[in-house]
């Protein structure tokens, strides 16, 4: 079982000709609402890749539709709590070239307390995985509890906060970052390379250029090149990549095979508008693989 303590957001998409410059006002050509948040995106990606996923998170009084939608995607939502106040949401501006700018209001995601985390993880064991990101609260406690029970702990260091990362790293088995976050980690910790951080494994995504996976215990490094596609929306591509890769590793898949499938899942994701709703199924990914 994969436990995911992750954000649950309502995503509002605004299509514009280009990302607005400071002081510039643009009229959007389209607006849509969908389900998102790094946590939800990764839960859907992991479920779509064939894993059993238990999402642990919080919504506000306006969040019932999000829980229902996540449940309809096949994710276990029984332990999601409803808190007073608004749910998290994101304003996502998408340019014609597929690039985006995102403003997040955390809402209920940041109101998760320590008692709730301890209740959620009371049943986690050495056969399970715990996935965390930086859009919720209590990450250090969750990682420490899961690690003490023998579970494997995966952490996406985004949105990047150096102090939060430093606090949680001793309890992490697997770190997921993009190239910007990787550079920030090297700069903050003043290390020559990321293998000096103390984590066993590391995935670095490089957007359209592909990704590289390091397993420092096994002295293994695997690189995949990006797949040229017609880009519609890059939002959630990294979450799709990381989620697919984690799920396939948890199923015992060979890292090279897992990396290639995750790479194709992320490439297929950016050809569609949306976040969680646009994450492809494993069947679609494998069909896309065969076509390529």
Task: Provide the 10 A C-beta neighbour count for residue 145.
Answer: 21
Q: Which of 239, 277, 284, 287 is catalytic?
A: 239
Contact 37, 90 (CB under 8 A): yes
CA nearest 45: which of 249, 244, 231, 289?
Answer: 244
SS3 207: helix
Whole-number Å distance between alpha carbons of 220 and 25: 48
Task: Provide the 10 A C-beta neighbour count for residue 110.
Answer: 14
**Catalytic residue flag (residue 97):** no
**Which residues have a Cβ under 8 Å from the Cβ of 180 and sit 6 or more positions away?**
160
Which residue numbers are catalytic?
A: 239
């Amino acid at each position: 079982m994969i436990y995911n303590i992750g954000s649950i957001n309502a995503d509002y998409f605004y299509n514009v000709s280009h990302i607005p410059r400071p002081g510039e006002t643009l009229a959007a050509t389209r607006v849509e609402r969908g389900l998102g948040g790094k946590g939800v995106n990764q839960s859907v990606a992991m479920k779509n890749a064939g894993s059993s996923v238990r999402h642990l998170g919080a919504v506000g009084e306006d969040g019932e539709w999000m829980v229902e939608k996540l449940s309809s995607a096949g994710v276990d939502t029984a332990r999601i709590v409803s808190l007073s106040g608004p749910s998290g949401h994101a304003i996502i501006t998408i340019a014609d070239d597929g690039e985006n700018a995102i403003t997040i209001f955390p809402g209920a995601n940041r109101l998760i307390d320590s008692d709730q985390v301890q209740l959620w993880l009371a049943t986690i064991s050495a056969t399970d995985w715990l996935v965390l990101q930086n859009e919720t609260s209590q990450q250090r406690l969750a990682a420490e509890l899961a690690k003490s029970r023998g579970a494997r702990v995966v952490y996406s260091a985004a949105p990047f906060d150096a102090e939060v990362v430093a606090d949680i790293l001793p309890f992490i088995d697997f770190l997921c970052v993009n190239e910007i976050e990787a550079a920030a980690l090297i700069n903050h910790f003043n290390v020559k390379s990321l293998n000096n951080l103390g984590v066993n494994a590391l995935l670095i995504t490089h957007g359209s250029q592909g990704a590289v996976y390091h397993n420092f215990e096994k002295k293994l490094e695997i690189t995949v090149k990006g797949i040229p596609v017609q880009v519609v929306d890059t939002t959630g591509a990294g979450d799709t990549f990381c989620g697919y890769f984690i799920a396939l590793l948890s199923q015992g898949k060979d890292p090279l095979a897992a990396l290639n499938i995750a790479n194709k899942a992320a490439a297929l994701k950016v050809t569609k508008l949306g976040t969680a709703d646009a994450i492809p199924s494993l069947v679609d990914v494998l069909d896309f693989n065969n076509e390529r």
